[in-house]
């Protein structure tokens, strides 16, 4: 705690897009103060050197990664690190008595073998995999209260699962019919440089990648299986959109009966009652990504088709907010027993 | 014919994106000379006024729309007009003895009642609906030879059908399982002004529209039904991508048996043998829209998924070339008995 | 005042980009409550119909434009109206006892004849032209305290003047040597539809417009003349950048003596001391537009050139925030005697 | 020569944007056949692996860099290599009897000391610096006939010099008053990866770079000095536009007398008479970059300002065509005594 009673927060991976978004959002959180921004690659340098937009806002040098030092400076740590790094670091942070919200993906799968198959790294120790609470707030939010360790959901799973869970739980869609066509802005690929994110290769271009091979597939299936009570397998395609922020997940499923758009809206509004960050649109209206940009909202809409007996579900988020930093703060709020919306009252930036 | 033996071509709708692309492409056609550029809205003005990129290339005033005058000036007419306009104009042009390639959509559906249901205009006279040859070159190309009237396929149907036909014809995919998730650049919406195409509304945004309601659905189903020999109904979503050119159609279908990506590649390469504008990619490789930009190519790739028994097919075109002006010229080449590639040898513009 | 002691604010022109940005920013202002959103064109409709990003945030129908009714509902009015409309409306609002911050441009020029020459509308009544305080906060901020009527500066003038005033006032640059090469995102053109803002015409394009003819020229010259104490005439070019938000003004001027980048930085930091929304960068570092996006900052940098004796000044703002809605709120804060930063603590959104 | 009498061309640097554009453009050149595509980094791989848009068009493996082998395979070499590489390679190629068009910049400056100051590499041998003909076609085209070695101009210098030379030569603008505000698409930075070209850093952003420090400054000044007959020094700023292709150079100069836009148009049209790739626009009309995209045109327009006595000149090119590959082919045409337009008849791609 700071002398003014604020929770002290450290951010590991402060020079990635997820980390720097945590910094932006936490500026307006009334109960949290950032006391350490950490980067293994740039330790020692002022953070505004690599992120001039923070000039005069965050005047702080980047710290190195050292669990003991972090424990001296902070009460809670956000680990926005590449997959594989958190697997080793998080256990040390937890042992040092810190609360942790991990954004890396390393603790999302309960089955270590499945992790190793999809992530191609050694899995973290079993005990930590089991300890981690999967922080999909609007579905598993009640599990977060009082815990020390949250594994923050992936960006694609967040948009996708919030779009599927109510209908699947209600038994309105056929579990073996789910096809997910997802599209993401380029910030989802991180700040690392590669030909794939070169402006001239992305701009005025649209491409699919990792078809049926994305590491978010087992994460999505783990939750859907939990909800359905039977093994669910999905077809999942990811595409890169020439934009910076935003994910749309367009989902297709066979309906088990005749359910109108109006009924779906009511079902979802009931499911998400009291959860302000999911906005279910009017029947026949589907959301666009810009309508949630810069904010923690997930917006959902439906189109049913009597001709084919299928429903099309459209779910959008800002991949860096609701798909990463925003949901991480929402999870911390739930861990601390604070109101879910604390520090997250950002209106979408439009246009 | 011109004195140098070239076919004289008129373009109705020269101030739309399809029309102006016909002008670009025809500059390099050795057997065609543009003798009239026509616009109902801007008649009398030099075309370079609205399209300064044509300065010094096409020095010609826009003509008005008059079938008799067109017949004096031209041998063939490309009608790149809004739907509803061609329905009335094309019969007059045909009666005046002209050859016509219609890009409007008014003559694609054989069933006038279905046309009226989806297009909300009165259908063209039945005789012309039946006369029109649906010009999907790589599927129905042999029907084009020697005819006077081609109905040029829509942009979404072109990308989608070239991606589905070989597998459907071979009986490798289940006809009732087809889901099409299509994405288009904004030029597909035409040059008319509206809030939907305002830069600030499209840029850094991704949106779905007309889910299961797009007028290209019956066009796609008409061909798939013809190929399958049974009624085929599809789920079809269209999205707007913040880019100018390009369509990707991502298609999902259940496989009827075990077919590897390698087998699919072979099946498609055999089907499209001798058709240079369809490029089937190596197994496991899917194309991006920019890889065909500015050219008449349709590129296709596959990903099969043993876990779900489905195949994902990715097909891309430049919506203004292969999806409109380029295929129209390809159709004219086939009508005239010329080589299919005449005047269309454009290498994609990359990056 | 509301019952909780908040100032009641109405926004005329709520369906334009400036108006909707006022709504976004005011959500976090602790002392202001929006009590009326007004639009002449869409009165009666819920605002979220045209701006779905406000779903669940602002649940309010648009009101019509009626000075008496506004006076019943509000204490202060932001008029984000097209030029020509405010000229007539603002006097009524002031007569009705309201405080007004006008974003339209109608009251920026003190000389009515000059207004009519550049704006091609009849000038507002002379008395109101004289009453209006030109609200360039960091230059004329002290004049705002306690007044009822502020004319909010234009977007280009804000970026340009904040970049030029300190050096001109210090006599370090030659008044007759100033050349301004400005670039703006497309939101600056407003939400109205036209071919000029069509996505396919702007995307992958860069264009100049209104060279030496932009109505912001006399506004810039009026202030520079005031500062220099002699008539200043500038060369001014505006360009459209394929992006939504942001203005960069790149300015060239002959130096009157040898002044290093270091000295310029010190001069500007001294001039803007205590004004948190101008950030003067380190010597040799110039800002990019994204570094202020979504925020009220104006960032400034310098490059001097010993070879030519000229200085290049780069100034960037978010045109809808510091160039419109943000500065309007900053002005209201100054009028009310509140802290300048009240409700404006937005960290730039990056990336 | 090939057996069909075509000139055999090799391209060194085929995996850069300049090299791959040479490949695109040369597909339609009737007198040239590409017989070797060369890359030091990717030798052995098929070129379509890194550039799938060439699938089925160029089926050729990349060769390594070896002057003797190149001389066996080719008559002419385009060296589209990074600066510093050509300095060493080109002398070998010339000694091997090849004709060379160098796109690297290594042979543009006649003064080796100046080269080393701006390029930070050792200069090429003096003899080759002197041998190189600076290939600004519309200014120095007559010098190209029959020579073996052309140094192809830089992208910024091409747009800038074509915009300034006629007025400077006529004595209509003051040599010491020239300010150049240039803007480029991102492809100008090449295909190498770096944070600077990361999509998320460029998109929805506008930035200035290398103010008064760009290596194209001495190249511009060398020509302007030659034309003016006195030392000319310029102020030169470069900016990065969130688009892939295109350069606009906005230039400011004091007029020596009263010259109307009409007179400037006439002066430039006379200067460029018979040179089809410079299009001088009507008085008061300035070009946008998209109006030349994909083509070899340079379009120029003017705005004079009686209030300041200055002229604003706007010049646009496609940086990869007229600013690199297109002008290189134009130079080869001139070297060979062919018509300047041979193989370059590309209509701009719009939209």
- Is C196 in CB contact (< 8 Å) with chain D? no
Whether D41 shows a pLDDT value over 90: the answer reads no
> Looking at residue D106, what is its pLDDT?
98
> Looking at residue D333, what is its pLDDT?
98
> Looking at residue D1, what is its pLDDT?
78
Rounded CA-CA distance B298/B317 in Å is 5
> Looking at residue D4, what is its pLDDT?
84
- Do A57 and A165 belong to one domain? no
- B115 falls in which pLDDT band (50, 70, 90)? very high
* Phi (first) and psi of residue A76, to 5 degrees: -135, 145
> Looking at residue B318, what is its pLDDT?
98
Q: Are strands A298-305 and D99-102 parallel, antiparallel or unpaired?
A: unpaired
Q: Which two tokens stand for residue D342?
A: 């041979």
Give C305's strand partners: C310
> Looking at residue B2, what is its pLDDT?
82
Rounded CA-CA distance C305/C311 in Å is 6
CB contact under 8 A, D24 and B349: yes
CB A52 within 8 A of CB A86: no
Q: Which helix (H) or strand (E) holds D328?
A: helix D326-336
The residues of C annotated with a catalytic role in the active site are 155
- Is B96 in CB contact (< 8 Å) with chain C? no
Closest by Cβ to C17, choosing from A27, A276, A351: A351
State the CB neighbour count (10 A cutoff) for residue D229. Answer: 11
Q: Which helix (H) or strand (E) holds D26?
A: helix D17-26
Residues 6+ apart with CB under 8 A from B4: B33
- B41 falls in which pLDDT band (50, 70, 90)? confident
> Can you tell me the mean pLDDT for A4-21?
96
First to last CA, chain C: 38
- Do D216 and D265 belong to one domain? yes
With respect to residue C287, please indicate whether it lies within any of the assigned structural domains.
Answer: yes
- Do A202 and A85 belong to one domain? no
> Looking at residue D2, what is its pLDDT?
82
- Do A63 and A111 belong to one domain? yes
Q: Is the peptide bond before A351 cis (omega within 30 degrees of 0)?
A: yes
Encode pLDDT of C212-257 as tens digits: 999 999 999 999 999 999 999 999 999 999 999 999 999 999 999 9
> Looking at residue C4, what is its pLDDT?
84
Q: Which two tokens stand for residue A20?
A: 């720097």
With respect to residue D287, please indicate whether it lies within any of the assigned structural domains.
Answer: yes
Closest by Cβ to A244, choosing from D185, D197, D204: D204
> Can you tell me the mean pLDDT for D200-229?
98
With respect to residue A325, please indicate whether it lies within any of the assigned structural domains.
Answer: no
Looking at residue C257, which CATH number applies to its domain?
Answer: 3.30.360.10
Residues 6+ apart with CB under 8 A from B292: B246, B298, B299, B316, B317, B318, B321, B322, B348, D53
> Looking at residue C281, what is its pLDDT?
98
Encode pLDDT of D239-260 as tens digits: 999 999 999 999 999 999 999 9
SS3 breakdown of chain B: % helix, strand, coil, rounded to 5? 35, 20, 40
- Do A305 and A177 belong to one domain? yes
- A100 falls in which pLDDT band (50, 70, 90)? very high
Whether B34 shows a pLDDT value over 90: the answer reads yes
DSSP symbols for B81-131:
--TTHHHHHHHHHHHTT-EEEE-SSTTS-S-HHHHHHHH-SPPPPHHHHHH
Q: What is the DSSP letter of A169?
A: H
Rounded CA-CA distance A314/A321 in Å is 18
Q: Which two tokens stand for residue A162?
A: 């919030």
d(CA C192, nearest CA chain B) in Å? 7
Task: Give the angle subtended at the CA of C189 by the CAs of C188 and C195, to the nearest 5°.
Answer: 145
Closest CA to A279 of A300, A263, A260: A300
Longest dimension (CA), chain D: 64
- Do C167 and C296 belong to one domain? yes
CB contact under 8 A, A202 and D199: yes
Q: Is B155 a catalytic residue?
A: yes
Chain B residues in contact with A299 by the CB 8 A cut-off are none
- Contact map slice: C 225-254 vs A, CB within 8 A: 244-245
| Closest residue in chain C to residue A25, using alpha carbons only | C347
With respect to residue A174, please indicate whether it lies within any of the assigned structural domains.
Answer: yes
> Looking at residue A41, what is its pLDDT?
86
> Looking at residue B206, what is its pLDDT?
98
> Looking at residue B258, what is its pLDDT?
94
CB A73 within 8 A of CB A11: no
Instruction: Find where tokens 């706007």 sit.
Output: D314
CB contact under 8 A, A198 and D193: yes
CA distances from D92 to C195, D86, D99, D100, D132 (A): 53, 10, 11, 10, 14
Whether A4 shows a pLDDT value over 90: the answer reads no
- Do A25 and A107 belong to one domain? yes
Closest by Cβ to A53, choosing from C17, C27, C292: C292
Chain B residues in contact with A237 by the CB 8 A cut-off are 181, 250, 303, 312
- B104 falls in which pLDDT band (50, 70, 90)? very high
Closest by Cβ to C204, choosing from B194, B200, B244: B244
Q: Which two tokens stand for residue C56?
A: 């669940």
Residues 6+ apart with CB under 8 A from A226: none
With respect to residue A349, please indicate whether it lies within any of the assigned structural domains.
Answer: no
Chain D residues in contact with A200 by the CB 8 A cut-off are 17, 185-187, 191, 197, 244
Number of domains in chain C: 2
> Looking at residue B1, what is its pLDDT?
78
> Looking at residue A3, what is its pLDDT?
79
- Do C179 and C243 belong to one domain? yes
- Do D291 and D252 belong to one domain? yes
Report CA dihedral (A191, A195, A200, A202) to the nearest 10 degrees. -70
CB D201 within 8 A of CB C351: yes
d(CA C257, nearest CA chain B) in Å? 43
Chain C residues in contact with A299 by the CB 8 A cut-off are 52, 55
CB pairs under 8 A between B and D: 82
Closest by Cβ to B252, choosing from A185, A235, A316: A235
Looking at residue A48, which CATH number applies to its domain?
Answer: 3.40.50.720
State the CB neighbour count (10 A cutoff) for residue D79. Answer: 27
- Do B112 and B40 belong to one domain? yes
* Phi (first) and psi of residue B264, to 5 degrees: -65, -45
| Closest residue in chain C to residue A50, using alpha carbons only | C291
Q: Which two tokens stand for residue B46?
A: 């030099």
Closest by Cβ to B294, choosing from D23, D51, D349: D349
Whether B220 shows a pLDDT value over 90: the answer reads yes
- Do A305 and A160 belong to one domain? yes
Whether C3 shows a pLDDT value over 90: the answer reads no
* Phi (first) and psi of residue C300, to 5 degrees: -135, 140
Encode pLDDT of B175-217 as tens digits: 999 999 999 999 999 999 999 999 999 999 999 999 999 999 9
Chain A residues in contact with B177 by the CB 8 A cut-off are none
* Residue length of chain A: 351
Rounded CA-CA distance D94/D108 in Å is 16
CB contact under 8 A, D281 and B55: yes
CB contact under 8 A, D53 and B291: yes
Rounded CA-CA distance B205/A245 in Å is 8
CB D277 within 8 A of CB D347: no
CA distances from D26 to D21, D49, D211, D342 (A): 8, 20, 35, 10
d(CA A178, nearest CA chain C) in Å? 28
First to last CA, chain B: 38
Q: For residue A216, what are the domain limits?
A: 156-319
> Can you tell me the mean pLDDT for C336-350?
97
> What is the pLDDT of chain B when averaged over all its residues?
97
- Do C124 and C160 belong to one domain? no
Closest CA to B314 of B300, B328, B327: B300
Q: Which class for B118: exposed (0-12), middle (13-18), buried (19 or more C-beta within 10 A)?
A: middle
> Looking at residue C229, what is its pLDDT?
98
Whether A10 shows a pLDDT value over 90: the answer reads yes
> Can you tell me the mean pLDDT for B261-271?
98
CB D295 within 8 A of CB D347: yes
- Is A261 in CB contact (< 8 Å) with chain B? no
Whether B4 shows a pLDDT value over 90: the answer reads no
Chain C residues in contact with B17 by the CB 8 A cut-off are 200
3-state secondary structure (DSSP) of residue D78: strand
State the CB neighbour count (10 A cutoff) for residue D306. Answer: 10
CB contact under 8 A, D199 and A186: yes
Residues 6+ apart with CB under 8 A from A270: none
CB D179 within 8 A of CB D220: no
> Can you tell me the mean pLDDT for A50-54?
97
With respect to residue B337, please indicate whether it lies within any of the assigned structural domains.
Answer: no
* Residue length of chain D: 351
Q: Which two tokens stand for residue D181?
A: 């505000």
State the CB neighbour count (10 A cutoff) for residue A70. Answer: 22
Give A79's strand partners: A12, A102
- Contact map slice: A 273-292 vs B, CB within 8 A: 286, 288-290
- Is B203 in CB contact (< 8 Å) with chain D? yes
Longest dimension (CA), chain A: 64
Whether B273 shows a pLDDT value over 90: the answer reads yes
3-state secondary structure (DSSP) of residue B135: coil
Catalytic residue among B155, B228, B264, B298: B155
With respect to residue C298, please indicate whether it lies within any of the assigned structural domains.
Answer: yes
CB contact under 8 A, A186 and D200: yes
Among candidate residues C97, C131, C165, the one where a domain is terminated = C131
- A149 falls in which pLDDT band (50, 70, 90)? very high
Residues 6+ apart with CB under 8 A from B274: none
Chain C residues in contact with D241 by the CB 8 A cut-off are 206, 241-242
> Looking at residue A46, what is its pLDDT?
96
The residues of A annotated with a catalytic role in the active site are 155
> Can you tell me the mean pLDDT for D65-93?
96
Instruction: Find where tokens 């994609």 sit.
Output: B348
> Can you tell me the mean pLDDT for B55-81?
96
Chain B residues in contact with C203 by the CB 8 A cut-off are 186, 199, 203, 242-244
With respect to residue D266, please indicate whether it lies within any of the assigned structural domains.
Answer: yes
Q: Which helix (H) or strand (E) holds C261?
A: helix C261-271
CB contact under 8 A, A193 and D198: yes
């Amino acid at each position: 705690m700071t002398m003014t009673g604020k929770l002290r927060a450290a951010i590991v991976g402060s020079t990635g897009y997820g980390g720097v978004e945590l910094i932006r959002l936490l500026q307006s959180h009334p109960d949290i103060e950032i006391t350490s921004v950490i980067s293994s690659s740039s330790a020692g340098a002022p953070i505004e050197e690599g992120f001039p937009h923070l000039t005069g806002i965050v005047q702080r040098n980047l710290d190195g990664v050292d669990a003991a030092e972090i424990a001296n400076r902070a009460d809670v740590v956000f680990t926005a690190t590449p997959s594989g790094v958190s697997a080793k670091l998080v256990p040390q942070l937890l042992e040092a008595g810190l609360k942790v919200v991990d954004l890396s993906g390393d603790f999302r799968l309960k089955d270590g073998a499945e992790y190793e198959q999809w992530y191609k790294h050694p899995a973290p120790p079993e005990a930590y995999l089991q300890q981690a609470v999967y922080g999909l707030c609007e579905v598993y939010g009640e599990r977060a209260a009082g815990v020390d360790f949250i594994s923050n959901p992936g960006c694609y799973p967040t948009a996708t699962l919030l779009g599927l869970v109510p209908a699947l739980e209600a038994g309105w869609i056929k579990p073996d019919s789910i096809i997910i066509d997802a599209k993401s802005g380029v910030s989802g690929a991180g700040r690392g440089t590669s030909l794939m994110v070169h402006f001239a290769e992305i701009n005025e271009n649209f491409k699919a990648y990792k078809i049926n091979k994305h590491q978010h597939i087992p994460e999505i299936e783990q939750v859907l299986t939990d909800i359905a009570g039977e093994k669910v397998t999905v077809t999942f395609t990811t595409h890169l959109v020439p934009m910076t922020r935003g994910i749309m997940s367009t989902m297709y499923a066979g309906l088990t009966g005749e359910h109108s758009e109006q009924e779906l809206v009511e079902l979802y509004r009931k499911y998400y009652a009291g959860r302000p960050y999911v906005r279910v649109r009017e029947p026949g209206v589907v959301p666009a990504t810009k309508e949630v940009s810069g904010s923690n909202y997930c917006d959902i809409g439906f189109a049913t088709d009597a001709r084919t007996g299928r429903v099309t579900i459209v779910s959008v988020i800002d991949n860096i907010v609701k798909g990463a930093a925003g949901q991480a703060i929402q999870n911390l709020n739930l861990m601390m027993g604070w109101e879910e919306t604390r520090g997250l009252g950002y209106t979408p930036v439009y246009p």
